[in-house]
Amino acid sequence: MSTRYSPLVQLTLARVREFYREPAAVFWVYVFPLLIAVALGIAFREKPIDKISVALRTDAGSPASIEALRGRLATSEQIELREVSGDEWMKSLRSGKTDLVVVALATGEYEIWDEPNRPESVLARHAVESILNRPATGAPHFSERHVEETGNRYIDFLIPGLLGMNLMGGGLFGVGFVLADMRIRKLLKRFLATPMKRSDFLLSVMFSRILFTVPEVLVLLLFGWLVFDVKNQGSLWALVFLIVLGAATFGGVGLLVASRAKTIETVSGLINLVMLPMWVLSGVFFSAERFPEVVQPAIKLLPLTAMNDALRAVMLEGKTLVGVGREIGILVGWGLSSFVIALKIFRWQ
């Protein structure tokens, strides 16, 4: 049979045309994930170091002790130092204009005044005490390090999770919801009267979903790179392979979910039943390792967990496909088993 008259090719092209004629579908597939990335990226953006307002009393202690204290506090970029005298320091602390007041005593010791009912004041006290407890000369007892490199930020962790979530949502809603809708509108009943194979029809729905997914996810990756400087440390082809595999896997799960659903309410309930646990457990917004050790084996077997772990391993650690072989095996297992079962129990009406 020529490609021109192949049921699989024609059905796939029909699904592609139907999708792009629906503006709402284009919005939820392409625009909505970008809006989520923007919102979360802004919420967890790199912020400047919060300044601590510290007042230094200049009417107590000797000039030498005051100068020594001023020099110690000036070593921290976080501290915004100003000088006060008389009753000004008490008014400033009570009104919240300053977080902390420090006094250099003639004995060489320091007196620290805070406002215990204000969290900012308590945090300021801890910060100042850590500075003053360092040795005045010689090497400090500890060194400060800040994780700011690309690949170690929260947004770098988040983008692969959004990709995995998008792949899952596209597979379940883009395949399962479409099948249920076609059954409700009696379109599947018409296909039943044709000589078309059941496998051709189901594969066409999956292939059309994959055709939508690849550019959809690449747009999100490009957006993350341009706006948040999220880079892929591994092979681009390995990343594309995982995206295609994930789209096929969740497409197979979507076929299984909708293989017999006869109402929109039924398929919506089943899709949410499948998606919601994985949204919570599979490490989209935070690491799945936060959950108890006893449930980790079950969480690791979820397809979205495998998807997210594989994407992060390639994007953040530069691993090859061999390095994520276990995750690939889990995705292949879910995809094949879901498709085979769906092919067995699928009903046209």
Tell me the pLDDT tens digit for each residue of 188-237: 777 777 777 888 888 887 887 788 777 777 787 888 788 777 888 888 89
Span 284-293, pLDDT tens digits: 887 787 788 8
Angstrom CA distances, 179 to 132, 163, 271, 337, stand at: 68, 23, 12, 19
Residue type, 222: L
Ranges 141-155, 193-207, 314-328, most confident? 314-328
Separation CA 93–CA 114 (nearest Å): 7
Same domain, 278 and 328: yes
For residues 327 and 160, the answer to whether their CB atoms sit within 8 Å is: no
Tally of domains within the chain: 2
Residue at 306 is within a domain: yes
Kindly state whether residue 180 falls inside one of the protein's structural domains: yes
- The label of the residue with tokens 């079950």 reads 298
Same domain membership, residue 284 and residue 340: yes
Mean pLDDT along residues 157-165 = 85
Cα-based torsion angle of the residue sequence 45, 46, 49, 50 in order, rounded to the nearest 10 degrees: 0
pLDDT of residue 329: 94
Q: CB within 8 A of 177, min separation 6: which ones?
A: 254, 258, 264, 267, 268, 271
Kindly report the pTM of this predicted structure.
0.63
279 and 319 in a common domain: yes
Domain residue limits at 188: 7-44+150-345
For residues 31 and 116, what is the distance between their CA atoms, to the nearest angstrom?
47
Residues 321 and 193 occupy one common structural domain: yes
Out of 70, 98, 132, a domain closes at: 132
User: CATH number for the domain including 125?
Assistant: 3.40.190.10
Residues facing 111 on adjacent strands:
103
pLDDT of res. 191 = 74
> Coil, strand or helix: which one is 263?
coil
